[in-house]
A and B are shown apart, each in its own frame.
Chain A
Amino acid sequence: MLDELSGVRDRGAVLEVASVGKVYATKGGQTEALRDITFSVGQGEFVCIVGPSGSGKTTLLKCIAGLLSPTSGEARFSGRRIGEPPEGLAVVFQEYGRSLFPWMSVAANVGLALKPMGLAKAECQGRVIEALRAVGLEHVSQSYPWQLSGGMQQRVAIARAVASQPRLLLMDEPFAAVDAQTRAELEDLVRRLWHQFGMTILFVTHDVDESVYLGGRVLVLSGAPTVIQENLEVDLPDVRDQLTTRRMERFVELRAHVYEQIQLAKRRNVAAGGT
Chain B
Amino acid sequence: MKRTIRATGYTFALPCVLFGLWWALAQHSQSYFLPDPVKVVKMVPSVWGGPRLTEDVLPSLRRLVAGLGMAIIVGVAAGIPLGTYRKAREVFEPLLEFLRAVPSTVLAPILLLIVGINDWMKIDVIALGCAWPILLNTIEGVRSIDEVMADTAEILRLRRWRRLWYLVLPGAMPRIMAGIRQSLSIGLILMLVSEMFAASNGLGFAVVQFQRIFAIPQMWSGILLLGALGFVIAWIFGRLEKRVLRWYFGLKETTSAG
Interface set of A (CB-CB < 8 Å, partner B):
62, 65-67, 84-85, 87, 89-91, 93, 95, 98-99, 101-104, 112-113, 115-116, 144, 146-147, 160, 164
Contact, CB under 8 Å: B155 / A67: yes
- Give the residues from 169 to 187 in chain B that come closer than 8 angstroms, CB to CB, to chain A: 170-171, 173
Bound form: Cα–Cα A104–B151 in Å: 17
List the B side residues contacting A103 at CB < 8 Å: 170-171, 173, 247-248
**Shortest distance in angstroms between A2's beta carbon and chain B's nearest beta carbon?**
29
Contact, CB under 8 Å: A115 / B148: no
Contact, CB under 8 Å: B166 / A101: yes
List the A side residues contacting B248 at CB < 8 Å: 102-103
Convert B224-258 into 0s and 1s, putting 1 for each residue whose CB lies closer than 8 angstroms to a CB of A: 00000000000000000000000110110011000
* Chain A CB within 8 A of B158 CB: yes
List the B side residues contacting A95 at CB < 8 Å: 148
Given contacts A87-B157, A91-B152, A101-B171, 18 further A-B contacts (CB under 8 A): A93-B151, A98-B149, A101-B149, A101-B152, A101-B167, A102-B248, A103-B247, A103-B248, A112-B156, A112-B166, A115-B158, A115-B166, A116-B157, A116-B158, A116-B162, A146-B254, A160-B156, A164-B156
**Shortest distance in angstroms between B154's beta carbon and chain A's nearest beta carbon?**
5
Contact, CB under 8 Å: B146 / A98: yes
Bound form: Cα–Cα A99–B157 in Å: 14
The 8 Å CB contact of A99, one of B149, B171, B247, B251, is B149
Enumerate 25 A-B pairs (CB-CB under 8 Å) in ascending A order. A85-B154, A85-B155, A87-B157, A89-B155, A91-B151, A91-B152, A93-B152, A99-B149, A99-B152, A101-B152, A102-B248, A103-B170, A103-B171, A104-B166, A104-B170, A112-B158, A112-B166, A115-B156, A115-B158, A116-B156, A144-B247, A146-B247, A146-B255, A160-B156, A164-B156
Convert B138-170 into 0s and 1s, putting 1 for each residue whose CB lies closer than 8 angstroms to a CB of A: 000000001111011011111100100011001
A146 to B, closest residue via Cβ: B251
**Shortest distance in angstroms between B230's beta carbon and chain A's nearest beta carbon?**
30
Contact, CB under 8 Å: B151 / A67: yes
Interface set of B (CB-CB < 8 Å, partner A):
146-149, 151-152, 154-159, 162, 166-167, 170-171, 173, 247-248, 250-251, 254-255
Q: Which of B167, B247, B248 has the most CB of A within 10 A?
A: B247
> How many pairs of residues, A versus B, come closer than 8 Å at their CB atoms?
70
B170 to A, closest residue via Cβ: A103
B151 to A, closest residue via Cβ: A67
Contact, CB under 8 Å: B155 / A115: no
List the B side residues contacting A146 at CB < 8 Å: 247, 250-251, 254-255
A115 to B, closest residue via Cβ: B162
A113 to B, closest residue via Cβ: B156
4 nearest CB pairs, A to B: A98-B148, A103-B170, A103-B247, A116-B157
A144 to B, closest residue via Cβ: B247
List the A side residues contacting B166 at CB < 8 Å: 101, 104, 112, 115
**Shortest distance in angstroms between B172's beta carbon and chain A's nearest beta carbon?**
11
List the B side residues contacting A113 at CB < 8 Å: 156
The 8 Å CB contact of B254, one of A67, A87, A101, A147, is A147
Contact, CB under 8 Å: A84 / B154: yes
Contact, CB under 8 Å: B158 / A65: no
List the A side residues contacting B167 at CB < 8 Å: 101
**Shortest distance in angstroms between B249's beta carbon and chain A's nearest beta carbon?**
11
List the A side residues contacting B173 at CB < 8 Å: 103
Bound form: Cα–Cα A91–B173 in Å: 26
Bound form: Cα–Cα A94–B167 in Å: 19
